[in-house]
Amino acid sequence: MNPLQLKKISVPIVLSGGLLWSTAAFSQGLLTDVVDTLGSTLAAGFNMVAAPFEAIGKKIFETALPVLKTPVAGAVKMLTDTAQVLPPVRTFADNNPVKDANTRYPVIFVHSLTGSEKFVGELPYWFDMAREIRMHRTSTPGDKSSTTASSIPNPYFSNNTENKGIYEANVSGFNTDEERGEQLLAQIKEVMIREGATRVNLIGHSQGGTTSRYVAAIRPDLVASITTISTPHWGSDFADFIVQQKTDYPKTAAQVMPLVDYGIGMLWMKLVGAKELPQDPAAAISLLTSAKAKEWNKRYPSAGLGDVKLCTTGKASADVDYVDARGVKQVAMQRYYSIIGESNKPPRTDNVFGLMKSGLGALSNQVFKGVPILNNFDFALEDTSLGVLDAKAFLDPTTVALELTGSIVAQRVMAARKADIGSGGGAPDPKFAINDGMVSVCSAKFGKVVAQAPWNHFDEVNQMAGIVGMNAPDPRVMILDQVRQLAKDNL
């Protein structure tokens, strides 16, 4: 074939390929616009019809929620009571514990986004974890005092007469770390009065970690250590995904988001958590994006932070300068730890199931390419916390959900890594894709990494109701070991 013949063949092929690519790109953009227009039209129609009844509708909704709380709480209590007696899941890690978890300072657990000290007043966020630790501790001064007798009464904090120096904070389920942090700071002062303590240890799950970091930054003298559990220190790619939908479908978001924010806020104030706590879902989700997290880290820097692009962690401790109430410069030493869930990993290819899953993932990427929202799913990740015929896959509905959200996280992380490397840099390292369904391992690294295991984002706090995967270590043992570590470190 001579060059002229080759040119006659190649030019049409290139032109056809370019035309197909342009058509596909245009179709994808057009499809997005169509979906956005359709969604916003439907939402606007609903809002128009509902507008005359908005005030009375909100009143009925807000009145109904407290009424619903009793039956919902009853159902949750039944679930909790049942879980308490299911062997071997509910057996203690150590039924004859040595008192080896007596820390120098009280320990306060801080829940994440969507959390509450107890859901509808019945299901503890840190399911059975605090109880396990208390078995390994002796009584503290706080067990003989009362929150009502303190000079800083706090209506948000539970009054448990058997705390033994272990407390579970209750902050807004949806809000900024500044707002949540100020609530936590008030509760820290409450604990210090009860216990006669000068500092506290903070253990935060997910956003609870950044909330703890806020307090440690503004009052380093009060915080001896921070332990973060799968905290998105550098943001969550799933939060990026949620916010991207608002960008891709701005017309629909403008119609829908005010209603969503109101609905979630009311649910948490009147049904799930403490009614006194303010809720701001939009601000909370925005703060967890990669861009906002980067800005937040500049405002509240920490030596415990590493380099997310290199997947490294930071320092295990640091001396933090501050000015005390007398205006005198002081130095406070803080310790930093992290515990990380890594349930979602690329599937093994040494068995038929892994190969099938990899093939399904590759096929789904092609089938859903160009389809809004669905093209973000990559089903090639594997939940390594599950064993063969694991009951968790059937009993806990969050298992499948977190595997799907983890696929979104992995795909977005790998796309960002590929963009950083460039076209000539080869394929990004698969380790960057590993996550717990919400937060990548690299974003969760902070200070000394004391545990990294196949937990998903709910397994890490022993949810739901203590049901964890067969391949996942007992999270109660994990958190007990960390409190033991704090005791060994004289904290």
Can you tell me whether residue 341 is helix, strand or coil? strand
Q: Is the pLDDT of residue 255 over 90?
A: no
Specify the pTM: 0.78
Q: Evaluate whether 220 touches 334 at the Cβ level (below 8 Å).
A: yes
Q: Is the pLDDT of residue 385 over 70?
A: yes
CATH topology of domain 58-236+274-342+441-488: Rossmann fold (3.40.50)
Tens of pLDDT, residue by residue over 315-363, are 999 999 988 888 889 999 999 999 999 988 876 554 445 445 555 554 5
Tokens 């995967």 belong to 469
Q: How confident is the model at residue 240 (pLDDT cuts 50, 70, 90)?
A: confident
Question: What mean pLDDT is predicted for residues 64-91?
Answer: 55
Q: Which residues, in sequence order, are bridge partners of residue 275?
A: none
Cα–Cα distance between 29 and 26 in angstroms, integer?
5
- Can you give the residue ranges of every domain in the chain? 58-236+274-342+441-488, 344-433
φ/ψ of 377, rounded to 5, equals -90, 130
Q: Which residues, in sequence order, are bridge partners of residue 451?
A: 339
Cα–Cα distance between 123 and 271 in angstroms, integer?
13
Cα–Cα distance between 410 and 436 in angstroms, integer?
10
Cα–Cα distance between 474 and 398 in angstroms, integer?
18
φ/ψ of 237, rounded to 5, equals -70, -20
pLDDT of residue 119: 64
Which residue, among 320, 355, 344, 367, has the nearest Cα to 218 in the 3D structure?
Answer: 320
Residues with a catalytic annotation lie at 206, 436, 457
Q: Is the pLDDT of residue 369 over 80?
A: no
CB contact set of 243 (below 8 Å; sequence gap of 6+): 285, 286, 289
Q: Which residues, in sequence order, are bridge partners of residue 340?
A: 452
pLDDT of residue 153: 41
Cα–Cα distance between 181 and 183 in angstroms, integer?
5
